[in-house]
Amino acid sequence: MSCFADDCLPMATTTPLVVIGITLILAWLLHRLLKWKSLGWQRCDPVLPPGSLGLPLLGETLQFFSWSSSLDMSPFLKKRLQRYGPIFKTNLLGKDLIVSLDTELNNYVTQQEEKAFQIWYPESFMRIMGENNIVSASGSLHKYMRNMVLRVFGPENLRLLLLKDVHSAVSMSLASWAEKQSIELKTASANMILSVTAKWLIGYDTSASSEELWKFYDIRGLLAFPLNVPGTAFYRCVQGRKNLMKVLKQLIDGRRKNAKPLERKNFVDLVIDELKKERPVLNEEVAFNLLFALLFASFETTSSAITVILKFLTDNPKALQELTEEHEQILKQRTDPNSEITWDEYKSMKFTSCVIHESLRLANIAPVLFRKAKQDVQIKGYTIPEGWIVMICPAAVHLNPTTYNHPIVFNPWRWKDISEPVGGSNDFLAFGWGSRFCVGADFAKLQITIFLHYLTTKYRWKVVSGGNMVLSPGLAFPKGCHIEIAPKS
Ligand code: HEM
């Protein structure tokens, strides 16, 4: 009897797995059949772009996320561009998609926001950001939210208040980094940025506890299979969101009970004012999700930009020299070289702007933009059926050799001849384009510029370990980027 039971044991454990496997494959086949039926039988045959939908369930997800240490377009995109042309279909994270490496389709999709297309992001992203947020909002609610954000991070506040705060955060951070043997640049700059953003968003002093805010958080979970299982990046991201939401709730409850009128309102005060209205436009859930999205966006993106810019400058001494000269020239023109940076000085930093644009062009910090077709769209001989997703890859635009000569070379000087793409353009999608253009773009550029000003005029630095960047397809530094900085003598 015992011998019989032992023999059966492996079968007893493998049989349910086999049954689950077969059920999943049958469900996937049924799903495909229904989709084909809805496309092919009920309408006259749409011509979908060429391409492969890959393996059941996985699609081509693994190939898409594979690492590449080159600045060139990822092997995934390059291979399919050669095989199918600039518009092709694939399946990523369980979703059929049409990939656009085509300028005309990109233009059409981004300019048709809320008409033929609407914004869409994968389930993992929406579950982390919260279902109702600025990304999913449309029409007047979307405009209202953008205006609220611009009341804090718009040009007027940047000039009058944030310039000064960024100056203090940068000078204090650099001084404290110089006292350490080395720092990991992305983490340290994220904390520096958070000290300004958290103050203006939630009135939160990060000097004591910035790590608390992002405990457990892992950005890789944003674009992932939404499996909320311990050990996955998605799970860590969900834990990070829960943690931050707890802090936000305590803060807002505290402010509500203890609402002393402030000279200048931070974003939480605007939210509280809004929620107090008889007919508020935002409800509590939307307001919390907006705060989360803003904290996340400012924490994650600008710190990546600073890291990649320093990496490019380390590898390109000529660019570093011209940048340093631009900033030293500003000091020479001042009566007091130690005085704070002024708005006019900030606006005069032309080569710095070239360095920022060139770095963002190559690094593609937001590697993909998604939109969903609201109706069947006929373009370039193909049909994009209603409900299908188009994934725009800015890398294809940024590495187009007809627009950017020798596209994978870091060449900030090329921007001297290009007028600044204010509000984005069809050749520069680093901050998006159209009505969804990044609402924090000016704030991000201000922070990076002031950081470079203080760094190049007062400090020297060298990379002491890590610093190798990969694209997967988002920018990552697998071993970090550890730098040592010291005051200039
Ligand atoms: C280097 C830094 C940054 C980069 C590269 C970047 C990139 C982008 C891109 C590409 C989009 C458009 C997404 C789409 O069309 O689907 C976007 C939107 C957005 N960004 Fe940024 N961003 C940066 C910094 C920031 C900062 C500092 C904030 C907040 C203060 C911010 C807040 C937002 C928000 C709220 C949206 C959504 C806008 C909307 O849907 O109307 N970003 N960003």
Residue 314 is part of which domain span?
Answer: 132-366+399-487
- Is residue 345, in this structure, part of any structural domain at all? yes
- Is residue 94, in this structure, part of any structural domain at all? no
Query: Which of these, 488, 417, 445, lies nearest to 349 by C-alpha position?
Result: 445
> pLDDT tens for residues 179-201?
999 999 999 999 899 888 888 88
- Is residue 354, in this structure, part of any structural domain at all? yes
With a 6 A CB cut-off, is 440 part of the ligand 1 pocket?
A: yes
Q: What is the distance in A from the centroid of ligand 1 to the CA of 301?
A: 8
Type of residue at 4: F
With a 6 A CB cut-off, is 267 part of the ligand 1 pocket?
A: no
255/276 Cα distance (integer angstroms): 13
With a 6 A CB cut-off, is 289 part of the ligand 1 pocket?
A: no
> Residues 6 or more apart from 121 whose CB is under 8 A from it?
129, 135, 370
Co-location of 207 and 327 in the same domain? yes
Co-location of 243 and 136 in the same domain? yes
Q: What is the distance in A from the centroid of ligand 1 to the CA of 105?
A: 21
Q: How many domains does the chain have?
A: 2
- Is residue 241, in this structure, part of any structural domain at all? yes
**Residue with CA closest to ligand 1 atom 27:** 298
> Residues 6 or more apart from 153 whose CB is under 8 A from it?
162, 200, 439, 440, 442, 443
Residue 428: strand pairing partners: 425
CB 302 within 8 A of CB 448: yes
Co-location of 178 and 37 in the same domain? no
Quote the distance between the C-alpha of residue 424 and its chain's center.
15
Q: If the chain, 489 residues long, is cut into consecutive pieces of 10 residues, what is the mean pLDDT of each piece?
A: 40 60 66 54 71 94 92 94 97 95 95 94 93 90 93 91 94 96 95 87 66 64 90 90 85 74 73 85 88 86 96 97 97 88 95 97 95 96 96 95 95 89 84 93 97 97 95 90 95
Co-location of 138 and 262 in the same domain? yes
Last residue of a domain, one of 44, 64, 79: 44
Q: What is the distance in A from the centroid of ligand 1 to the CA of 20?
A: 41
- Is residue 318, in this structure, part of any structural domain at all? yes
Quote the distance between the C-alpha of residue 137 and its chain's center.
18
With a 6 A CB cut-off, is 439 part of the ligand 1 pocket?
A: yes
pLDDT, position 301: 93
> pLDDT tens for residues 301-315?
999 999 999 999 999
Identify the CATH number of the domain in which residue 166 sits: 1.10.630.10
Co-location of 204 and 302 in the same domain? yes
Neighbours of 215 (CB within 10 A): 14
pLDDT, position 41: 43
Q: How far is CA 465 from CA 307, 315, 451, 476, 480, in A?
A: 13, 14, 21, 15, 8
69/475 Cα distance (integer angstroms): 10
- Is residue 219, in this structure, part of any structural domain at all? yes
Query: Which of these, 198, 292, 285, 191, lies nearest to 240 by C-alpha position?
Result: 292
pLDDT, position 2: 37
- DSSP class of residue 372 equals E
Q: What is the distance in A from the centroid of ligand 1 to the CA of 291?
A: 13
- Is residue 373, in this structure, part of any structural domain at all? no
With a 6 A CB cut-off, is 293 part of the ligand 1 pocket?
A: yes
pLDDT, position 194: 87
Co-location of 37 and 144 in the same domain? no
Residue 119: strand pairing partners: 371
pLDDT, position 19: 66
Co-location of 189 and 326 in the same domain? yes
pLDDT, position 250: 83
- Is residue 376, in this structure, part of any structural domain at all? no
With a 6 A CB cut-off, is 183 part of the ligand 1 pocket?
A: no
Could you give the count of Cα atoms lying within 13 Å of 303 in the half-sphere of its Cβ? 25
With a 6 A CB cut-off, is 174 part of the ligand 1 pocket?
A: no
Q: What is the distance in A from the centroid of ligand 1 to the CA of 438?
A: 4
Type of residue at 105: L
Ligand 1 atom nearest residue 153's Cα: 30
Ligand 1 atom nearest residue 110's Cα: 15
Ligand 1 atom nearest residue 370's Cα: 16
What is the sign, positive or negative, of the torsion defined by CA atoms of 249, 251, 256, 262? negative
Q: Count of H helices and E strands in the chain?
A: 18, 12
pLDDT, position 5: 38
Structure tokens belonging to residue 68: 């590449």
Pocket test for ligand 1, best of 438, 443, 448 (most atoms within 8 A of CB): 438
